[in-house]
Amino acid sequence: MSSVTYFEAQKWASSFVSDHKIDESVVNLLLLGMKNWNLTDLLMNYQQQMPQHEFEKFKDMLNKVYHGWPPQYLLGEADFFGRKFKVTENTLIPRQETEELVEWVLNDFGNNQSDLKIADIGTGTGIIGISLKLERPLWDVTLTDVSPAALSVARENAQRYGLDIKSICSDLFATLKGKFNIIVSNPPYIAESEKYLMDQSVIEHEPHVALFAAEKGLFVYQRIAAEISSYLEKEAVLYLEIGFRQGKAVKQIFQQAFPSADIFLKNDITGHDRMIKVVFHNDQ
């Protein structure tokens, strides 16, 4: 046993992150994640001795965070929409704005849509499609990704929650079959010229194939607009996450491709353009 309690380990870690200019929230994120505890569990165990091997692991993880490692990769999981999902360096770490995209879909379609077909394109960890399926169990959800490694993580996350979800290795729509009522995607949308805006830890550790896109970050949206028609049920709806500078450009891409579609731009909680909804009509 070590000579520190969990309270003392937390206190030491708070001093460490303060000295090294690390976000204070990392302390509890790592400590709770290591133990699979919630905050109440931590409080109840404050005066318990922390095993030496745990304390060493805790210190090592904090040191790695200081050197740029995202804590979610160190823990092997991240929170999204109130649940935990496996993450690896083959997948992006889930973000708050993607939760808002999921909420938009759920709010639009309510509780009474039992026969909808949904495709989550470029699923990564599977968080969008899996979260939709968990909230609307009768929806028929398909996950796709061009990366076999990412798709393997998505399958593990679906299994974690006991879900029967189809998963297909596909470059966008290339090997996808059928038509869908809802298509949702958080594609790569960062322009190479915007690297200077990003945290160094993201650039060094998160998969570039899921981050960056050509044509000033618009290439995948252009492809979706060009390829999506054959996969749309009547009155289908497309939901996309976008970069905070891309609202006007992405809206224009779909207006040109689908002149009679209704297109809506939505801000995230910080007030930035972050989501696009395209409502297709029967003549398209």
Annotated binding site for S-adenosyl-L-methionine: 122-126, 145, 186
User: Could you identify the residue written with the tokens 């990564």?
Assistant: 124
Q: Are strands 180-185 and 232-241 parallel, antiparallel or unpaired?
A: parallel
CA dihedral for 192, 195, 197, 199, sign (positive or negative) = positive
- For 43-134, where are the E strands, in sequence order? 77-80, 83-86, 117-121
Q: Which residues make up each annotated binding site for substrate?
A: 186-189
Give the side-chain half-sphere CA count within 13 A for 108: 19
Q: Which residues make up each annotated binding site?
A: 122-126, 145, 186-189
CA distance linking residue 141 with residue 124, whole number of Å? 14
Minimal CA–CA distance to 191: which of 144, 119, 145, 250? 250
- For 49-198, where are the E strands, in sequence order? 77-80, 83-86, 117-121, 140-145, 166-169, 180-185
> 186: Cβ–Cβ under 8 A, 6 or more apart, which residues?
92, 98, 101, 122, 124, 128, 240, 241
Minimal CA–CA distance to 207: which of 73, 76, 108? 73
Q: Are 91 and 264 in contact (CB under 8 A)?
A: no
